[in-house]
Structure 1
Amino acid sequence: MKHLGNAHDLLGIKIDYSNQAYFLSQKNYAASILQQAHLTACKPLANPNCTKFPSTFPTDSSLFDPPLYRCLTGSLQYLTLMRPYIAYSVNQLSQHMHQPLPQHNYLLKCLLRYIQVSRRSTYGYCSFLGDSIIS
């Protein structure tokens, strides 16, 4: 075993160091999900939850493939490590992995378009074990 220095990227999580602080992000991982779905140049959405469905669902052939739907949904589950605010939407998509319908593909595409938004979340949390912060 040998020391190779500080970690910079681990399991799709980019690690940046500053003065006594670490910044973790999955920006590159999110970009790879969008690339896999062929949505790198899509128009971003500001809200991850779609409450109104259109009257007819377009059958987008690129996302209507059930194995691709499962793969993208599984990748989004891993993305919730750094973006817990999409957990509800990912949970809704995960409930239909056995037989995705056009409306589920519509919701998946909406969530992927939300991932395209490059702003920081105002969400934050602290987890303590006794008096020590662990996360």
Structure 2
Amino acid sequence: PPVCPIFEGKKLPPPTLGQLQEALMALSKVHSRVWKLLREIHVGQNKGTIPSHDIGPGDWVWVKRHQTKALEPKWKGPYVVLLTTPTALKVDGIGPWVHCNHVRPAASAEQEDAKKEWEASLHPSNPLRLKLRRRQ
């Protein structure tokens, strides 16, 4: 079906450049007003529904084990956080990204113990990489 039945079978003359510019400016104004109204309606609507965290790169976290064996700790780590998104973390030593609900921050004492256990040095050829070595 035609979008506008009034013009069915009729052809309109092509708009001039000035008419096209005016129409685009009017459309732009309507667009900005509509988005402003939508933003006001939806402000705070997603509060609490999207998980968030205050963990950043360089922090130490414990990662939850989902299938623990007998007498095995439920949390493994602590691990250093390399990258973050609002819902996931990339930690050193674990391949896939970890959801923020499956980690907990390591206490400062645990971080100090981990820092004593591990040694970080610059990679010899790539300045964007670190080499982590467990201290003996």
TM-score tier by shorter-chain length is under 0.3
Q: TM-score, normalised by structure 2?
A: 0.20
Q: Which has the higher strand share?
A: 2
- Higher RCO, 1 or 2 (CA under 8 Å, sep at least 6)? 1
Q: Which has the higher helix share?
A: 1
Larger radius of gyration, structure 1 or 2? 2
Q: TM-score, normalised by structure 1?
A: 0.20
